[in-house]
Structure 1
Amino acid sequence: MIISTEPVWIAQDAELADLCTRLRQQAAIAVDTEFMRTDTFYPIAGLIQLGDGKTSYLIDPLAIQDFSSLRELMLDEQVVKVLHSCSEDIEVFERLLGVVPSPIFDTQIAAAFAGFGFSLGYAGLVKAVLAIEIPKDETRSDWLQRPLSTSQLKYAALDVAHMLIVYGKLLQTLKASERLQWVKSDCADLVVNARKPDDYAEAFHKVGFAWKLRPLELAILRDLCIWREVESRARDIPRNRLIKEPSLFEIARKQPQDAAHLQRIEDIPSRTLRNDTETLLRIIQDSAATNPATWPARLDAPLALSEAPLMKSLKKYVRDVAEGLSLPPELLIRKREYEAIARSGLKGGTYSLPERLLGWRYEIIGKGLLEVAQNTTVGINSLDAEESVSPTIIE
């Protein structure tokens, strides 16, 4: 198939509507975005690339006024949107269109299941599948400048030019290995998770060393984190430009009661101190005045060294299964899921699985992980019991 190397520039509403009408007749389309996010919380769309397998279309979001046709295309369940490593692209569409595209097919996920390696870049995938080199010299370009350079236009077009051919070859490989449903399931999960409303109340769980804090301190940290999440979005600035997590931790721990003491907390941006000192002090006071029954319980400390044998057994089991399937272990389970399994058995000794391991992964590794966890614990307990009845020698 001959793919045009000359992209079609779309900068008028009527052109976009016509293009989207035609693309909705296809079973799948290639999709990519270029954006800027240096000084903002939200990505600023600089370009939307669509491909039909023959031509690359470059949509100028700075010129288009009516995005309704593109929104309808992104939500058309009869048209698969093929993207590569799509998490940031999803954010672009959420910001620009207010929707999460569906259904999606992430070629990075598919490539891993097809045996091309974990977290493979798009250029590497195209080279591996089609033996075609794609230049990546415009990765950090200014996509908000107009006009775009010839080099930028070529770069953007190539990002979707070969995608549907790669998609077709991945489909063949995945069908042959009976792994296509695994990929579709994981891609569907990306859409579901992207559509979930943000839960700012849980943001404090991600702060390093939060497990060291007491309930009152956690209540303050929780409310500080909620404030940061709300304000960084409202001001459209990166979270760390407003205030960094270590500073929030120190504020919650030290609970400064006046501006002078707050200023002694390290690494709070001067702009934040200038504009938000009163707000931060009020959050501390208001949080401390709440009913203790509403304060968070202390967070789990890092796993004890006594859990090391169990973690080692779980990881070895997954490595063995992954090796037998010729898959990267990271594709089957995440690091925090090992820990979740280990923690589930700390009270009562009965282990359970994180939700993600209850889908197609249950038969592949989930059921086995539960058996390994239970057997490892039985072995450790038996050894402890033997040691406990050994004679004690008093010198």
Structure 2
Amino acid sequence: MSSSTDRIVHELAAAARETGRLGIDTEFVGEGRYRPLLCLAQIAVDAPNGIRIELLDPLVDEFDPTPLAEVLADPEIEIVLHAARQDVALLKRTWKTEVRGVFDTQVAAGFAGLRAQMGYDALLREMLRVKLQKSASFTRWEQRPLSEEQRRYAAEDVQHLLQLAVALQNRLVESGRLEWAVEECRALEEVHDSRDPADLFPRLPRIDRLDPAQRAVAYALLEWREETAEQVDRPPSTVLQDQTLVELAKRRPTSRERLKQIRGLSEATLHRRGDALVQAIARGRDAEPIPVETERPPRTDPADPALVVLAETLVRTRAEQEELAYELLASRADLQRIITSWRDGRDDEQIRTLQGWRGDLVGTDLIDLLEGRLALRVDGDGRVVAER
């Protein structure tokens, strides 16, 4: 264990607790693996002489991340990231922690009158007039030693992160939207990269066309595939393709010889994993059948496409008026769900456009539009206007 790295980890955690914030980014490799491998964690904290940046290398130094993991889990400490979803999921799994107090500068940019999904370098140019070199983005981060170019690139990713957060927060305070951005960031705290078979099972192709006994075999094969892929640290599709898995569940072969009749199984797979596949199929045959869910699909109407366009017009108009990225307010799927719920006389509180700040900004007006209490017209300047 590296005592010097452990000392740095403790110092970073102490600085974050003293100042109330920490900036973090990661470099990882996901290609060819079961789940992404954390290759580097870049940390930025406030220091008396500016910003302190440290690069923590889990592939070289055996350090205990617990002090920083506890900081990440503390909702009283602001954790600043850019495009946080993958970083949060990776850190939660790798450092065995929760991540609270997230402030995502990409999310915040959408509330600050900038486009949604804005890249970090573009956002720095826009907000701070800083230009990054970005010369090492496609290098092999799992190979050691890291080059000086890679280390410089990694450090740049957090060098201005805390300053960027302050600039965005100041703009959001002026527009009265800081609370909206913070509320939106809360959802990122729940992301994860776990692969639960129960979540993966409904997404298998044509799974609802199998009978209950076949579905039980498909579930057993799915469990086997996930366990095998994790053991060998390879993408599940390289162990067994989705289409082949469903075909195996449909035919339920009982021997290696019968496995050869299934399209999509290579000779290498039959040689290495043929017995394991037969055993997994046998477990599925002995398991309780899994009935097909008979939930009624949402009722649609020929008028729905026109209503979606009408609703989208209102949302885009409101986004333009408020200088918000349209994507933050609603997707077409959200609008279709709102229309379907309205048509069925249901209050679907799970639709994000009807909740929180979105509900206040446009959700109520969408319902009023559908109910005929709100109308859209084009004014003399060619702009869409909503009026009651």
1:380 alignment counterpart: none
2:26 alignment counterpart: 33
Q: Residue 47 in 1 paired to residue 40 in 2?
A: yes
Question: Which whole-Å deviations, capped at 9, do the CAs of 1:150-192 have from their partners, x for residues lacking one?
Answer: 1111101110011111101100111112211121112112113
1:141 alignment counterpart: 139
Question: Which whole-Å deviations, capped at 9, do the CAs of 1:203-252 have from their partners, x for residues lacking one?
Answer: 12223454555555544444443443444334432222222323334334
1:203 to 189, 196, 200: 200
1:175 alignment counterpart: 173
RMSD of aligned C-alpha atoms? 3.3
Q: Residue 327 in 1 paired to residue 338 in 2?
A: no
Contact 1:82–1:106, Cα closer than 8 Å, also in 2: yes
Question: Which whole-Å deviations, capped at 9, do the CAs of 1:300-330 have from their partners, x for residues lacking one?
Answer: 6698673433433443332233233222222
1:233 to 230, 234, 255: 230
In the comparison of the two structures, how many residue pairs are matched? 365
**CA 1:218/1:338 → structure 2, altered by over 3 Å: closer, same or farther?**
farther
**CA 1:49/1:364 → structure 2, altered by over 3 Å: closer, same or farther?**
same
Q: Which moved more, 1:267-276 or 1:47-56?
A: 267-276
Q: 1:258-277 to 2 correspondence within 5 Å?
A: 258-268=255-265, 270-277=267-274
Q: 1:13-24 to 2 correspondence within 5 Å?
A: 13-24=6-17
Q: Distance in 1 between matches of 2:151 and 2:351?
A: 43
Structure 1 residue 277, shift from structure 2 partner: 3.7
Q: Distance in 1 between matches of 2:311 and 2:300?
A: 16
Q: Which runs of 5+ in 2 are unaligned?
A: 374-388
Contact 2:24–2:158, Cα closer than 8 Å, also in 1: yes
State the SS of the aligned residue for 2:19: coil
1:392 alignment counterpart: none
Q: 1:328-343 to 2 correspondence within 5 Å?
A: 328-342=325-339
Q: Distance in 2 between matches of 1:317 and 1:214?
A: 44
Question: Which whole-Å deviations, capped at 9, do the CAs of 1:270-293 have from their partners, x for residues lacking one?
Answer: 55444444444455555456555x
Q: Which amino acid aligns with 1:75?
A: A
TM-score, normalized by length of structure 2?
0.80
Q: Which amino acid aligns with 1:130?
A: L
Q: Distance in 2 between matches of 1:51 and 1:316?
A: 42
State the SS of the aligned residue for 1:65: coil
Structure 1 residue 83, shift from structure 2 partner: 0.4
TM-score, normalized by length of structure 1?
0.79
**CA 1:237/1:68 → structure 2, altered by over 3 Å: closer, same or farther?**
same
2:359 alignment counterpart: 362
2:384 alignment counterpart: none
State the SS of the aligned residue for 1:46: strand
State the SS of the aligned residue for 1:183: helix
**CA 1:72/1:367 → structure 2, altered by over 3 Å: closer, same or farther?**
same
1:82 to 60, 80, 94: 80
Q: Distance in 2 between matches of 1:210 and 1:345?
A: 30
Contact 1:41–1:232, Cα closer than 8 Å, also in 2: yes
